[in-house]
Amino acid sequence: MAAKGFQFDEVIIVVPTGMSPKGGIDDIRFNSLEEQLHDAVKSWQRRLRGIQANPYRDTCGRSEAMSTALLAGRLGNLTKADRHAQFLQWIEPSAGLLTRNGERSNSLAKGPDRSLFYADIRPRCFNRSLLITAKGYVGLGPLDVEEGDIISIFHGVTVPLVLRKQTKAKYHSFVGETYIHAIMHGEGAAEYCQEETEFIMV
């Protein structure tokens, strides 16, 4: 099957959320889920600091982009600023993740905002991976996304798609849908996608 669209960007960093048990959801100890996701997001933050490209510099900033991506853009009845404040309370180690001597505490610090944010991102992040693109965009993608996969935008498709290049030119396989912060409403096509490409799906 052939389809025309735009190659927007390339995935260069992938961080699995740690919420993907091989035996299924029943095999998870639910009291460990939050720490697994917290560790993944901290790794995502650290690796993003090493990326020079920053498409969020003049808009929302990287931290707010990350908080919105974890929610897949679904803010509920709160503003982006409110959600970002919840994210900062949840991710900040000084809120209780570490003890005074630097050792790991048994559980994350609890609070109404922290608990609410985690409750909202948990279903969004299950069986997913956090990603960073070559242009510095952050997103939430399929569990099996890999470095080198491409982010594509197609006419009539409401979300960006992750495709994997095959050995033959123009041949790609479909990996899944993705949330990439700041390109979910056509911004990517207008700014970066100058030349339409034919993708042959296998």
* DSSP three-state, residue 90: helix
Looking at residue 2, its pLDDT comes to 87
194: CB partners within 8 A, 6+ apart: none
CB 121 within 8 A of CB 37: yes
Could you tell me if 3 and 171 are in contact, meaning their C-beta atoms sit under 8 angstroms apart? no
Domain boundaries, the chain: 2-201
Contacts of 88 (CB under 8 A, 6+ apart): 63, 67
List the pLDDT tens digit at each of the 202 positions of the chain: 888 888 999 999 999 998 765 545 454 555 578 889 999 999 999 999 999 999 999 888 999 999 999 999 999 999 999 999 999 999 985 544 433 344 444 444 455 567 789 999 999 999 999 999 999 999 999 999 999 999 999 888 889 999 999 988 889 999 999 999 999 876 655 565 667 888 999 8
**pLDDT, position 104:** 43
Has this prediction a pTM greater than 0.95? no
Rounded CA gap, 91 and 183, in Å? 25
